[in-house]
Amino acid sequence: SGGDADAANAMDAEDFDEAAFNKKNVSRKKYGLPPMSVAEFQELQAQVRQMEVDQKAKAAQMAAAAAQLAESKKEKKSVLSSLFGSILQDTCESNYDCERPEVCCDLGVKKMCCSSGMQVFNGISPAKERQLIRVPMPSGEEGQMPRGGPGGMNDGPYSGY
**Residuewise pLDDT in 10s, the chain (161 residues):** 444 444 445 445 566 889 999 999 999 999 999 999 999 999 999 999 999 999 999 999 999 999 998 887 776 666 656 666 666 677 888 888 888 888 888 887 788 888 865 544 445 555 556 677 777 766 555 555 556 656 555 555 555 54
How far is CA 17 from each of CA 10, 12, 20, 38, 42, rounded to the nearest angstrom?
13, 10, 5, 10, 9
CA distance 81 to 75: 10
pTM above 0.75, yes or no: no
